[in-house]
Amino acid sequence: MVELASDGKGGYRVERYAIEILPRDVVSDGNIVNLEAAAESVRRAWKKLATSTRQVAIALPASHVITKKIIVAAGQREAELELLVESEANQYIPFALEEVNLDFQVIGPAPSSPDEIEVLIAASRKEKVEDRVAVAESAGLKPRVLDVESYAVLSAFQLVEAMLPEGGKGQIIALVDVGANVMNLTVLRNDQQIYAREQAFGGNQLTQDIARLFNMTFEEAEAEKRRNSLPEKYETELLRPFLEALALELSRALQFFFTSTQFNQVNHIVLAGGCAVIQGIDQVVASRTQINTVVANPFAGMVLSDRIREKSLLADASSLMVACGLALRRFDE
């Protein structure tokens, strides 16, 4: 969880943040399997946050959301646009409209014609939305915004991009979000997505190996992994092979990008997600890919409140990209 505020100068101040490890099997393939346990974890995180704010932005994994960009005539009223979106959605969504939550956003003028606009349609099964809302409400919170995790990451990425040479303008940037079970590769140029790929690879694999080698529970192994307090043989027997495997998976994903598009290079790799907090991961990836690699820190240009420990936030920053992107939403409304 992340709470941001305005710094009064057009920027942001990090007020609070908190991390709570989810018990194993509470979430499977993006589905909340145990609503009660998930709500309890959210409740503990909110208590750690020590805030009076209960209004929150939450997100669905991209795998639970169907998105489609359409081109429509400009100058339409909101009601007319809604009817048009529903009509278009019927063609692309493999469910009855009464079974989904549907939303849309006008992106801007269409690239092909000034008389048309580009609209992004997003839809998700109602039960997927209701599960997320139920968890937040059971934890005593009030959901006000429902986003998509991948879009939240892209919102936070704009802060990271500003720290790259020349602000990343005109360059091809691979944003790699490595979570518990999935690696998401998003390739961008001038803030426009030009490629996306999802691969089954994540940090839970390493956590399970730790639990097995050191005879721990999954939760204990995850906590020790985050604290970097495991015995020396962890690095040689588990960590180094895992990082090499991660770098190899990423290298393969980039090869898919090169062979399926007209592009043949990437200027920067930006690592995000829970695995990006592992010390030395950027060096291993850079060595394997021969591409400049940095670990994302969306808070680098922000003011920190007195209650924030800068060293701790720096260590956790890359794993907070989704939370940071969601916290930014209040400034977009």
Domains in the chain, CATH or no CATH each: 66-125 (3.30.1490.300), 164-296 (3.30.420.40)
331: confidence class by pLDDT, cuts 50, 70, 90: low
248: confidence class by pLDDT, cuts 50, 70, 90: very high
pTM value surpassing 0.85: yes
Report the distance separating Cα 141 and Cα 143, nearest Å: 6
Q: Which pLDDT value is given to residue 162?
A: 87
Q: Which of the residue ranges 31-35, 126-130, 179-183, 327-331 would you say has the lowest mean pLDDT?
A: 327-331
Decide: 247 and 271 in contact? Cβ < 8 Å: no
28: confidence class by pLDDT, cuts 50, 70, 90: confident
Buried b (16+ CB within 10 A) or exposed e, 275-290: bbbbeebbebbbebbe
Say which amino acid occupies 187.
V
Say which amino acid occupies 43.
R
Decide: 167 and 161 in contact? Cβ < 8 Å: yes
Decide: 137 and 88 in contact? Cβ < 8 Å: no
The total number of residues shown for the chain amounts to 333
Q: What is the mean pLDDT of residues 260-279?
A: 95
Locus of tokens 């394997």? 288
Q: Is it the case that residue 23 has pLDDT exceeding 90?
A: no
Say which amino acid occupies 120.
L
Q: Is it the case that residue 300 has pLDDT exceeding 70?
A: yes
Q: Which of the residue ranges 15-24, 98-107, 125-134, 322-331 would you say has the lowest mean pLDDT?
A: 322-331
Q: Return the number of other C-beta atoms located less than 10 Å from residue 170's C-beta.
A: 9
Q: Return the number of other C-beta atoms located less than 10 Å from residue 255's C-beta.
A: 10
Q: Is it the case that residue 319 has pLDDT exceeding 80?
A: yes
Locus of tokens 């001038």? 190
Q: Give the DSSP H/E element, type plus range, for residue 103.
A: strand 100-110
332: confidence class by pLDDT, cuts 50, 70, 90: low
Q: What is the mean pLDDT of residues 101-119?
A: 90
Percent of the chain with pLDDT over 70: 99
- Phi/psi of residue 110, nearest 5 degrees: -70, 140
- Phi/psi of residue 249, nearest 5 degrees: -60, -40
Report the distance separating Cα 176 and Cα 216, nearest Å: 29
